[in-house]
Structure 1
């Protein structure tokens, strides 16, 4: 009704008072609020919003600096200031429609950086910023040749999620902003550069690369990698980048990529990004994977040699719908990205590898959730799906609640309404909101209007989303294979004997379940027996190794030179999940001094995302 009245007033104004065109435009813009309040950005996109970026930069490995110019096309609603986010950047010059203009950096905020205000005119349509990164830039990790697989050339990669893109590009760093971009990137001759865009398949001799991202993406999905790597196709629309010594191994490991894309399309509609490639980065990359559109960044820890950890690739592919296509509007709505993606990942894995494997993955997800809930028992509001992260680092919300409670909510919903109905609903949801952002509140309305109310289904949606903990009506996940694992573990604890033949065909998920469930009374002798039989301390599967090291620290098992092996692992691997799990085990076992000795040596190998987590965990300060 309010909008009707406002519209009539505007029409009346035109008829009776012959309002000027610009006044009418201003009134309309004030009545049409396109963007919600964003606690993690200084930008004011309802006044002036960026829509396209032309980026021209040079990558200088000698100085560890990116420098260049970012030129933005803006949707200007008669504003005289464009506000961008900037953190640890050296701003050299600003131009509005090609003419030099003044700019001002606001007071520095520890998490958010600084507001960058550029003076513009109500008619301004383009703004250019010339800038350099600095030694404090958090998104970038500059690696020496020794920190790469082939140890011949340096390497650079970016990590923008959640609010780190502002540390290598001045930008309106909110997920609800979507932009297209073109880029020209100059790198040392002989190296290759790739971005979250259309990418080269071969190296360019002079090191000048051009990129185009035609589909609008959120700023946290801007990504760049530069190094000594090559490309190998898996199919006409999928392929891998990796350092030369790893390329064949990586291509073989990810050879099911095309099958994954086809399975995903069969579930929820056409893949919207043309190409799905993966680049395997050096081991300091802080995440398992990052779903940068067209080019997923991945950790080498998933290259196990037997495709056993490739559910991560299914997860990052699923983000091409949930996260990249339909994006959380703010980081308070992060579960909309990750809960949906875990659900979609499980459906892809079920379609390709069967329900048993999917249920094992789902049960591990459920165990992760239980551990997270225990960790938040004194902070129950952190277990809500819809978060309030104002004044906090959005990274605080990137935990098992968003991923695994979000998944459990959607799985329970699917079981309540029926899989066919739920699949039709999700497919329409992705199609209807493609290349748009979504708040939790808008999703709840859409869910009610398009699934629950038409089918007369009662579901406690608000309890799942806005209350702490897990409601009683939750999906019960079962796995016969995990039941067999539990039986074998129980027998081993009682008899100290284990039949190695039974474990011959175990998946990593079965091993993880076995090791994770070691009882507190597990003896050092029992650890030694398992290690002597299966050589778990030297496992080549990074996931199995990680949980074995965690349990070994908890139980103070020190056989088979495991202390040195753990130290080497923590120096070599920078994946935050693995690193934080092991350091947390040290802390809980009152072995912080040991942890700090290892960390002082390994810290320089980690990305800032991992460093910030472990610094806080161990109380470390330089």
Structure 2
């Protein structure tokens, strides 16, 4: 592990344990990753005290019970601790703990502390000299786990299980220290009914073992230390299709061909990413296309990216999502934010990297257009909340609500685009690759990346002043040196939007030729207030309600509902019944609720039917919107 001299002079770091912590380019993953103990690295969302005692490895032996919707079994934890420390504190949110024992089977005393809303409770274990402990437990109603009935799947015959651990939900089914700064290796043996297949975010080289009780056992291993939120599981009637020598896709049988066709460019994306920023270090890059209830676009679980089926458009126009999740294999999975106040280190860096992959695979025009859409999202957010809102800083102060993806993802990406535009692409790329190499398999903070830039990128004081690095990271709004997107990226589309705004002129031939990014731009630029005849003309002329592109369909439905367009309600109801992605679901319910006596009864009626089909992440957001 290597830090810049400037950073070492300004901050002190305590590295707990030290065996094989090299993060050099091409080197092996460290057996034990460092713990950062600077104030800005502490995680107030975890009860753990890793500077005293920490988990380094988790070994799971779990049975999946689909009837009871419960996981049960044991977790064996490897612990390292400072001399004289005899208590280890884990994160627990609703686990039913049966026993905790040492390596010899001797019971250990433990207490579950007071529950803190949204955080769970501390599980304090008096381990004495023990450094290997086994927790026997079960987890029901775990917020990280979504149990789908056969009716909620494409096949309709078998149940399904999927998990979503980010940011702090894995403590609802795994007893460990659930903080991104406490990296852990892990292994698992999972049993499930023999008609189901289990996949996890670890490698599996063994065939499943057939048991005597009508079940099969699946084994997995992650030998590289990862943030615990990246331990993920899915189980269902799923099949696999190879995409390339180190990539493939899982999905339900009825979806596998469409999924594989949409993911044709995956191997080329891996090659492009490696060309940009060095070796892919995780072995395989597989994906699973989940049922529609999955609450996010994608989740970058190592070696098994989880994907929403909503990205399948039939023309690979939404595969920027795949580029994003792949890029997380470097930014987020390889180098991880030490806590969630610095989530831009995961998402902003990844969004920049995503755009570079898109440019390599699909060309500069598409990359520029997608960047322009991101910049528009930043401008819209700043116009809504103000440029001095504390939530618009990349490094989020503790106890300040995040403004959302336009800051964490898009402002973070434009920070790096701006730096690149000033120092030049060659210098910037060399710097970013060394950042990944020298901090591989380790946590990081905003202070660390700032110090690294000052040490390894900035050439002199004049350039430092021009870059405004500290203002970008810690300041609100957008610095005045921002590298704005090319105004010509959407020149034709913006002209068409103005023509529609001024004269209600609609160029359907142009629409048919446009990329998805261009169509999304048009729908975002036309007036927000339209009458029934104008909305009907849009829908008929552009065939919006029949769109197979979910990004475009969502934008249309949101516009229609904001204008109380009754004809769009049946399509909205169908959309909300088949899609569980929070990005789509929450704004549509919000649009309905904002329409008072017209929209609120519709929202409540639809939500009463669809709520049970959504993941807890989506439910938690929509519950706050649909009141009464």
The separation in 2 between residues aligned to 1:53 and 1:521, in whole angstroms, is 55
The separation in 2 between residues aligned to 1:201 and 1:572, in whole angstroms, is 35
Give the TM-score, by structure 1 length: 0.91
Of 402, 409, 415, the residue aligned with 1:403 is: 409
Of 71, 78, 82, the residue aligned with 1:77 is: 82
| SS of match in other structure, 2:97 | strand
Match of 1:553 in 2: 561
Match of 1:430 in 2: 436
Of 166, 186, 189, the residue aligned with 1:161 is: 166
CA contact (8 A) 2:274 2:280 kept: yes
The separation in 2 between residues aligned to 1:555 and 1:32, in whole angstroms, is 52
CA contact (8 A) 1:68 1:131 kept: yes
CA contact (8 A) 1:194 1:200 kept: no
Tell me if 1:37 matches 2:42: yes
Tell me if 1:363 matches 2:372: yes
The separation in 1 between residues aligned to 2:48 and 2:285, in whole angstroms, is 31
| SS of match in other structure, 1:489 | helix
Match of 2:177 in 1: 172
Match of 1:570 in 2: 576
| SS of match in other structure, 2:56 | strand
| SS of match in other structure, 2:168 | coil
Mapping 1:481-500, distance limit 5 Å? 481-500=489-508
Of 514, 527, 530, the residue aligned with 1:522 is: 530
Mapping 1:264-413, distance limit 5 Å? 264-377=273-386, 380-390=389-399, 396=402, 398-413=404-419
1:32 Cα offset (Å)? 8.3
Which has the higher mean CA deviation after the structures are superposed, 531-540 or 46-55?
531-540
Residues 223-280 of structure 1, C-alpha deviations (whole Å, 9 max, x = no match):
0001000111101100000001111111111010000000000000000101001100
Residues 350-392 of structure 1, C-alpha deviations (whole Å, 9 max, x = no match):
0111111001111111122222223433980111111123497
Residues 460-505 of structure 1, C-alpha deviations (whole Å, 9 max, x = no match):
1111111211111111102535210111122233444433222222
- Residues 1:34 and 1:222: Cα distance change in structure 2 (over 3 Å): farther
The separation in 2 between residues aligned to 1:521 and 1:154, in whole angstroms, is 44
1:74 Cα offset (Å)? 0.9
| SS of match in other structure, 1:409 | helix
The separation in 1 between residues aligned to 2:296 and 2:174, in whole angstroms, is 21
CA contact (8 A) 1:76 1:124 kept: no
Tell me if 1:419 matches 2:425: yes
1:430 Cα offset (Å)? 0.4
The separation in 2 between residues aligned to 1:451 and 1:601, in whole angstroms, is 54
- Residues 1:605 and 1:379: Cα distance change in structure 2 (over 3 Å): farther
- Residues 1:62 and 1:467: Cα distance change in structure 2 (over 3 Å): same
Alignment size in residue pairs = 589
Of 46, 51, 55, the residue aligned with 2:51 is: 46
CA contact (8 A) 2:593 2:603 kept: yes
Higher relative CO (CA 8 A, sep ≥ 6), structure 1 or 2? 2
Match of 1:581 in 2: 587
The separation in 1 between residues aligned to 2:294 and 2:78, in whole angstroms, is 32
1:534 Cα offset (Å)? 2.4
The separation in 2 between residues aligned to 1:446 and 1:412, in whole angstroms, is 17
Tell me, which stretches of 5 or more residues in structure 2 are unaligned?
A: 1-7, 10-33
CA contact (8 A) 2:202 2:302 kept: yes
Match of 1:107 in 2: 114
- Residues 1:469 and 1:201: Cα distance change in structure 2 (over 3 Å): farther
Tell me if 1:95 matches 2:101: yes
Residues 406-436 of structure 1, C-alpha deviations (whole Å, 9 max, x = no match):
1111111110111111000001100010001
The separation in 1 between residues aligned to 2:198 and 2:36, in whole angstroms, is 44
| SS of match in other structure, 1:171 | coil
CA contact (8 A) 2:511 2:542 kept: no
Residues 128-157 of structure 1, C-alpha deviations (whole Å, 9 max, x = no match):
11111122x100000001101111100001
Match of 1:607 in 2: 615
The separation in 1 between residues aligned to 2:503 and 2:309, in whole angstroms, is 38
1:618 Cα offset (Å)? 3.1
The separation in 2 between residues aligned to 1:34 and 1:554, in whole angstroms, is 45
After superposition, the CA RMSD in angstroms is 2.3
Match of 1:119 in 2: 126
Residues 12-46 of structure 1, C-alpha deviations (whole Å, 9 max, x = no match):
xxxxxxxxxxxxxxxxx999889942100000111
| SS of match in other structure, 2:463 | coil
CA contact (8 A) 1:138 1:608 kept: yes
1:537 Cα offset (Å)? 1.2
Match of 2:256 in 1: 247
The separation in 2 between residues aligned to 1:462 and 1:589, in whole angstroms, is 42
Of 439, 443, 452, the residue aligned with 2:449 is: 443
CA contact (8 A) 1:70 1:128 kept: yes
Mapping 1:534-553, distance limit 5 Å? 534-553=542-561
The separation in 2 between residues aligned to 1:237 and 1:188, in whole angstroms, is 28
CA contact (8 A) 2:53 2:88 kept: yes
The separation in 1 between residues aligned to 2:441 and 2:54, in whole angstroms, is 16
CA contact (8 A) 2:251 2:259 kept: yes
1:204 Cα offset (Å)? 5.6
Of 119, 135, 148, the residue aligned with 2:153 is: 148
Tell me, which stretches of 5 or more residues in structure 1 are unaligned?
A: 5-28
| SS of match in other structure, 1:49 | strand
| SS of match in other structure, 1:94 | strand
- Residues 1:200 and 1:514: Cα distance change in structure 2 (over 3 Å): farther
| SS of match in other structure, 1:569 | helix
CA contact (8 A) 2:111 2:123 kept: yes
The separation in 2 between residues aligned to 1:423 and 1:217, in whole angstroms, is 25
Of 164, 178, 183, the residue aligned with 2:188 is: 183
The separation in 2 between residues aligned to 1:523 and 1:75, in whole angstroms, is 66
Which has the higher mean CA deviation after the structures are superposed, 328-337 or 524-533?
524-533
